[in-house]
Amino acid sequence: MQKTQNNRAWFMVLPVFLLVAFSAVLPLMTVVNYAFNDTFGENVFFWVGTDWFQDVLTDDRMWAALKRQLIFSAIILAIEVPLGIAIALCMPKRGIWASLCLVLLALPLLIPWNVVGTIWQLFARIDIGLLGYTLDQLGISYNLGQNATAAWITLIVMDVWHWTSLVILLSYAGLQAIPQAYYQAGRIDQASRWAVFRYIELPKLKGVLLIAVLLRFMDSFMIYTEPFVVTGGGPGSATTFLSIDLVKMALGQFDLGPAAAFSIMYFLVILLVSWAFYTIMVNLDREDVPK
């Protein structure tokens, strides 16, 4: 007996497709249009081909911003991932204290990005900020508007405070999912604590850690609100990351063509890295499947 296909389910999905079209596809097509055309207003466009892409690729300012962005993302990952794993290992496994730790760790993740930037901008001020005033009284130079090192340290500490909780929660969930039989086998073999982490916990956390690294890389590579609120990209261009440079190009200079080409290349880099992580995760899942 042949089953009749019910196409009414597509009507349930249709609103989602329309929402995605208006919120993502149409703006993307507009950006693509500006990336390959030039305009003098009144919606009159002139084809320029890949000229805007060539201008962006030969712009030293863009490469400097990319270098700063990669350094920032590398520092963030190098700090947050090991720190998140270490804290997750030290957390209680169950009981009221475990619940309390989870609630407290989730609090920074609930704060909006612009509020996080405002909090740390006020916190680091020399006149009214607790951190800035205390360091100034101790004779330590801490001026975000003049000291590039202070600006970088502030942004890194702020991001670690805000997002390490995500790595902790993911790592904690991965640790809780490990069957107790593995730990019992380790105790029978008299394995040390390091051996248990090296041969039991860390291999079982591979998938979770890849998700954590992917999420943190994407967010740190696209970070805009926090550094813009805290430092404004300064002092000078010391903390002008790719996102801030792109906004300055599009809104500050109103160079829509180069900004559109810039944003497309920005999007392709994120897409390429996401695809690479996804491929690695799929291969790891295949390795874990018993043959």
- Is there a domain that residue 181 lies in? yes
Residue that the structure tokens 């609100």 belong to: 225
Lowest mean pLDDT of 47-61, 133-147, 177-191, 209-223, name the range: 133-147
Q: What is the pLDDT of residues 157-212, one digit of tens each?
A: 999 999 999 999 999 999 999 999 999 999 988 889 999 999 999 988 988 998 89
CA end-to-end span of the chain: 36
- Is there a domain that residue 167 lies in? yes
Alpha-carbon span 39 to 172, nearest angstrom:
53
CATH assignment of the domain containing 232: 1.10.3720.10
- Is there a domain that residue 270 lies in? no
**Virtual torsion, Cα 77, 83, 88, 91, nearest 10 deg:** -160
Give the pLDDT of residue 263. Answer: 92
Residue-averaged pLDDT of the chain: 88
Q: pLDDT-based confidence at 6, cuts 50/70/90?
A: low
- Is there a domain that residue 17 lies in? no
- Is there a domain that residue 47 lies in? no
- Is there a domain that residue 152 lies in? yes
* Of the candidates 147, 128, 153, the residue with the CA atom closest to the CA atom of residue 234: 147
Does 82 score more than 60 pLDDT? Answer: yes
- Is there a domain that residue 263 lies in? no
Residues contacting 241, CB < 8 A, separation 6+: 65, 68, 69, 72, 223, 224, 227, 233
Average pLDDT over residues 81-106: 92
Name the domain count of the chain: 1
Give the pLDDT of residue 277. Answer: 82
Alpha-carbon span 153 to 133, nearest angstrom:
16
Residue 96 domain boundaries? 65-254
- Is there a domain that residue 281 lies in? no
Alpha-carbon span 37 to 51, nearest angstrom:
9
Lowest mean pLDDT of 14-23, 107-116, 131-140, 168-177, name the range: 14-23
**pTM for the predicted model, two decimal places:** 0.87
